[in-house]
Chain A
Amino acid sequence: MVKKVNNPLKIDFQKCIIEGRLQQILPKHITSEPELINIWTIDINPQDSKYFIAFIRRNIKETDPISLLHLKRIQKNPNDKSLLKLILCSVEYIADREDIIKLLESIEKKTPNGNVEKIQYTNLNKDLKVPKEPPITRELINEWSKKFWPMVWNGNPNDQILNDYIIDMDSIRGKLDIISKQSQSLAKSNEIPVVSLFVNPLDPLNHILSIDQRNSTSGCQLDHSIMNGIKKVAEDEVKRRKLEQEAKESNNYREKTYLCLNFDVYTTHEPCSMCSMALIHSRIKRLIFIKPMEVTGSLRPESGHGYCMHANKNLNSKYEVFQWIGDEYPVGSVENYTCC
């Protein structure tokens, strides 16, 4: 985590634009009403808190699907000032009371005379409701802290997200140049000029280029460049694993590629609902597109039905999306009803 002032990238935190070129694509948030979730809490003795904190750091923080970092983990118990109230984890992570009890039984502490003993707690329940995500303004955080549970103000959470993006502008420009040139040459020969490029983090130099093939002899209506790229990644991985098997002595084994996990994908046109969802299924990390599709696009809140597929809170996985807003990389044009 770098401090904002030390970030070498120029970031416009108001407009969410990096280096004047990469527009972060986000759903329009309605944050005045928080989405509430239930969490497990227990009451503990103040002198035991360090054991619980260590336990949470070890066993819960990384694995709980809900980040609770915006909440203060420990509070004075309002009913009994001699006790502390502690947040264990989300109910989404562990739903069952028996499982929680089993987990808590594994916490041990050393007494001053060297004995190991089980730790005590009371009042285990999942009645407390807290906001699932932090709000974007300081005013709201004060309001929510009073209403639900004390929260930590870390600034607009999206500022931190913007600041934490790992962005290599030169590499991005190089990739966009490739798809832009390919798109223009397809347009010249009257092909559908939609092009995508898949970059595997395990093998970043061998990118996979794919084009729209719905008009080719063997292609059908669904052979969009993204779908073709996803299939090509799988085919290449099958080949690679076979080669690796054959050359058993060689020592350049590589970790297996799982789906398109953590891939960066570059595409000329904003993808349709099929393709944007296919990228969710494929677990990519980031998509950068050039041309928005007003009717069929499924990423920008202004496109189509505003699905914002990459950040739809009803879907349990997400990817980063940026639109390149410079005019350095022209692409062939397609009709606005075309699904890309």
Chain B
Amino acid sequence: MMTLDTPSSSSSSSSSLLISRKDAHIVMGYLHYERMKLAIKLARYALDHNETPVACIFIHEPTNSVIAYGLNATNHSLTGVAHAEFMGIEQIKNLVGPHHLMDFFKDVVLYVTVEPCIMCASALKQLNIKKVVFGCANERFGGNGTVLHINKDKALLNAPSLPKAESASYEAIPGILRKEAIMLLRYFYVRENKSAVTPRNKAERNLDKETFPDLIWSTYIDRETFIQEFGSAQSIHYENNSDLMSFNDDIDWSLIETPWDDIVEDLNEKCQSFNMIQRKKSKLETV
């Protein structure tokens, strides 16, 4: 099993992966799953700390490094806008400085367990993020296709702050560890509803471990993007609105039923080692 480690060790492990698996799409798919696993573990951590199980990690793509992470804090903070994405953005702001965010974000990919809401989708767009990868749809507020298509809209088309026209629009790839993300949300709602006065309906009261809504790929990406991302061998899933099989044929129960108490510490270490490399690099540049 490949794990995401410090940038130096991860580059060697991903190149050995390239040799053992010839199909670049499999490598990409594998990377997507490995990175999303970290986000899922963090979401499970949030669940164990009485927060909505939504979490994310930010990857600096050129170095394949974790640079920031976030979990939802809307219950603990007193605002309705303390979403996981904003916590990560704040960390990156501390890393590169507030005025270099856009230049930095063009190399950043976000892995988030639940589709960003309209507010976060817009924030990520204004920061010129490279790409978003998410687990399950955000049925109520999704801003990457479910409710609105903020990532593809033309509101920033003429902004001179962006390197080139249209570069602010980004692809948002759904479906990575989707069922795991849905199950974590179900755990949360079942728990919430136990304390509710009037039971709303059965589906919310009893934990459903079997049925999942279809994944309507075309709501989020076109066929071409799908094939670019996952290869034509998988395209049957685009047609069938089904989950990708090779990595995700069954739910990874151990991933979502284990409390990952050390995950925050792990992620802090990963972020710090990227931070050190950044500092060394900028020192070299100034010498």
Contact = CB atoms under 8 A, between A and B. Distances in A.
A222 B199 contact: no
Interface stretch (B28-36, B45-53, B72-80, B242-250): B72-80
Nearest to B147: A314
B147 to A, nearest CB: 5
Contacts of B158: 295, 336-337
B87 interface: no
B141 A234 contact: no
A304 B160 CA distance: 17
A316 B119 contact: no
Contacts of A316: 140
Interface of A: 63, 94-96, 98-99, 217-222, 227, 230-231, 233-234, 237-238, 257, 259-260, 272-275, 277-278, 280-283, 295-296, 304-305, 307, 309, 312, 314-316, 336-339
A277 B144 CA distance: 14
Nearest to A336: B158
Interface string B67-90: 000000000011111000000010
B202 A282 contact: no
Contact of B119 (A217, A221, A277): A277
B163 to A, nearest CB: 14
Given A220-B101, A231-B79, 13 more contacts: A63-B198, A95-B203, A221-B102, A259-B79, A259-B80, A274-B123, A278-B81, A278-B119, A280-B118, A296-B156, A305-B155, A337-B156, A339-B155
B127 A221 contact: yes
B103 to A, nearest CB: 11
A275 B127 CA distance: 14
Interface residues of B, number: 41
Contacts of A234: 77-79
Nearest to A272: B122
Nearest to A214: B98
Nearest to A261: B80
Given A237-B78, A305-B155, A316-B140, A94 B93 contact: no
A315 B140 contact: yes
Chief secondary structure at chain A's binding surface? loop
A222 B156 CA distance: 14
Nearest to B142: A314
Contacts of B199: 96, 99
State the 5 A-B residue pairs at the shortest beta-carbon distance, nearest first: A95-B201, A281-B80, A274-B122, A277-B119, A220-B98
Given A96-B202, A222-B123, A237-B78, A277 B143 contact: yes
A222 B79 contact: no
Max chain A Cβ within 10 angstroms of own Cβ: one of B126, B127, B140: B126
Max chain A Cβ within 10 angstroms of own Cβ: one of B119, B140, B198: B119
A316 B102 CA distance: 32
Contacts of A295: 155, 157-158
A304 B159 CA distance: 14
A315 B147 CA distance: 8
Nearest to B141: A315
A309 B118 contact: yes
Given A95-B203, A218-B98, A316-B140, A273 B80 contact: no
B119 A281 contact: yes
B119 to A, nearest CB: 4
B204 to A, nearest CB: 9
B99 interface: yes
A337 B159 contact: yes
A304 B155 contact: yes
Contacts of B277: none
20 contacts: A96-B199, A96-B201, A98-B202, A99-B201, A220-B98, A222-B89, A230-B80, A231-B81, A233-B79, A234-B78, A273-B148, A273-B155, A274-B123, A277-B117, A277-B119, A309-B118, A315-B141, A336-B158, A337-B157, A337-B158
Contact of A273 (B101, B102, B122): B122
Nearest to A224: B126
B99 A220 contact: yes
